[in-house]
Amino acid sequence: MITQLAVNDIIRKQCEFFKTGKCKDITFRIEQLKTLKKAIIEHQSVIINALKADLNKPEFEAYATELWVVKEIDYAIKHIKSWTLPKKAPIGIEQFPGFGRIYAEPLGVILIIGTWNYPFQLIIAPLVGAIAAGNCAILKPSEIASHTSSVVADIIQKYFNPAYIAVLEGSAETSQQLLAEKFDHIFFTGSIEIGKIVMEAAAKQLIPVTLELGGKSPCIVDTDINIEYTARRITWGKFINAGQTCVAPDYLLVNKNIKQNLVDSIEKCIYNFYGEQPNTSPDYARIINQKHFYRLVKFLQNGVIIIGGDINPDDCYIAPTLIDHVSLADPVMQNEIFGPILPIVEYNDLSEAIAIINERPKPLALYLFSQNKNLQKRVLQETTSGGVCINDCVIQLGVLSLPFGGVGDSGIGSYHGKASFDIFSHYKSVLHKSLWLDSKLRYAPYEGKLQLLKRIIGL
């Protein structure tokens, strides 16, 4: 285990490097982003092998959901000049002569703690924002995806000065050692439970936090849909990475009149995607470890399994599974599933579905499959969630102009694209005044000035 002294030393070096002002330079930031992209391009196969070893992640999924992060880098390189330009702020006539500007400035040294389900992307995407905004960063990947953690450490060490970007590998203890130190911002991805620990530690030192957490993301399915496309998109969104996706549809809220059709179509899709025996499919991932495997297996005791249900503990395999007749009080409906198990709850009227959602903590994502515009409007107005995707799922994460994050229990703050630059920047307001004119209105003696002041205020 790394000593507290060593942790302290890395942070001190990063603070010193930050003070040199080097990482504020826009050309430097662009160069570093290009270096990061180069590092990823040159290590594609190593990253893919690590993801395979950790999660049996299919190569296609690795490109689509992890190496996809190079899109973030390109986007940041393309926009960094406009993001860093001081923004004009209109000021009142009473400030004449003068003008207002808002300057984006870096925060300093950032701590990024990642989790294991998208172990590469979830540590690199926030790093892109930290670099673009001109910060130094320490990364703590998840020890649970140990192969990817060590690849991230190797790559970063090879291409970056540790006084600028460093990786500290390790378990919860390493996290806690880091949390005992002073940072300028902490970016955490993981569970609600650990999110609370992170926020508590940060509060002690008044460190701002971004918490990318989880929860149960509902998926409402109305009757006004294209059943084939709907089933295909839900099957993909639920079973990609074997359901270990923070924004996977956690449970279905299905209109009773379409339920059987939907179940039949999802069954066909599972067959088309993964064949008769998904355990032999090269395109189906595995549960990260035995602990999570047995956590998920317990959910199989709820309701009635209508599709799948096969398991293999030796291989951490759980087949794509649909469970019907669950009660809202069952553990599978009380906890985030985070695995390839999809419970179905039917409703007669949309109000019932909305009530179920609103009785629970605010979700990270909410999905609605319906072509009915009024119904879409109702769901948007009557529910709250980190984000919403209508007539698709999970794919919204790839849209860099849409900030991604939770609300309430599902998280604090959002990132991706410009939002990543924003969370790692301080927007400094500056009023520039001139010394060539000095109205005496604000100065004492005030006699005879009140009427003019009232007119300026509008009273």
User: Residues interacting with ligand NAD, by CB under 6 A?
Assistant: 113-117, 122, 140, 142-143, 171-172, 175-176, 179, 189-191, 194, 197, 212-214, 246, 336, 338, 364, 406, 411
Both tokens assigned to 414: 């959002």
* H/E stretch holding 287: none
Tokens matching residue 306 = 């209508």
Given the complex with ligand NAD, which of 134 and 214 has the nearer CB atom?
214
Reading the block at residue 448, the tokens are: 């005879």
- Find the shortest distance in angstroms from Cβ 248 to ligand NAD: 9
CA distance 431 to 98: 7
- Cβ proximity to ligand NAD, 61 vs 336, nearer residue: 336
Nearest to 302 by CA among 274, 333, 272: 333
Instruction: In whole angstroms, give the CA distance from residue 344 to residue 333.
Output: 10
Which H helix or E strand runs over 42?
helix 26-42
* Active-site pick, 23, 219, 246, 393: 246
d(CA 29, CA 50): 28
For tokens 């006539």, the residue is: 93
Nearer to ligand NAD, 2 or 227 (CB): 2
Rounded Cα–Cα distance for residues 10 and 168 (Å): 10
Structure token digits, residue 22? 């080097």
Nearest approach in angstroms of CB 307 to ligand NAD is: 23
Which residue of this chain has its Cβ atom nearest to ligand NAD in the complex? 214
CA–CA distance, 162 with 128 (Å, rounded to integer): 16
Total H helices, total E strands in the chain:
17, 20
**Nearest-approach distance from CB 293 to ligand NAD, in angstroms:** 13
Q: Which two tokens stand for residue 235?
A: 């099957």
Q: How far is the CB of 208 from ligand NAD (least distance, A)?
A: 17
Nearer to ligand NAD, 115 or 425 (CB): 115
**Which phi and psi angles does 32 have, rounded to 5°?**
-65, -35
Element (H, E) at 9: helix 4-19
Question: How far is C-alpha 51 from the geometric centre of its chain's CA atoms?
Answer: 19
Nearer to ligand NAD by Cβ, of 23 and 365: the residue is 365
The minimum distance between CB 123 and ligand NAD, in angstroms, equals 9
Catalytic residue status for 269: no
Amino acid at 225: I
Pick the catalytic residue from 66, 212, 336, 346.
Answer: 212
Whether residue 101 contacts residue 28, with contact meaning beta carbons closer than 8 Å, is answered with no
**Burial (0-12, 13-18, 19+ Cβ within 10 Å), 459:** exposed
Least distance in angstroms from the C-beta of 345 to ligand NAD: 20
Q: How far is the CB of 459 from ligand NAD (least distance, A)?
A: 47
Q: 83 near 128, Cβ under 8 Å?
A: no
| C-beta of 172 vs 430, nearer to ligand NAD | 172
To ligand NAD, the closest distance from the beta carbon of 290 in angstroms equals: 13
Whether the bond into 445 is cis, omega within 30 of 0: yes
Sign of CA dihedral 59, 319, 332, 353: positive
The DSSP result for 92-138, as a single string, is: -GGG-SEEEEEEEEE-SEEEEE--SSSTTHHHHHHHHHHHHTT-EEE
| Of residues 95 and 289, the one with the C-beta less far from ligand NAD | 289
Question: What residues are labeled active site?
Answer: 212, 246
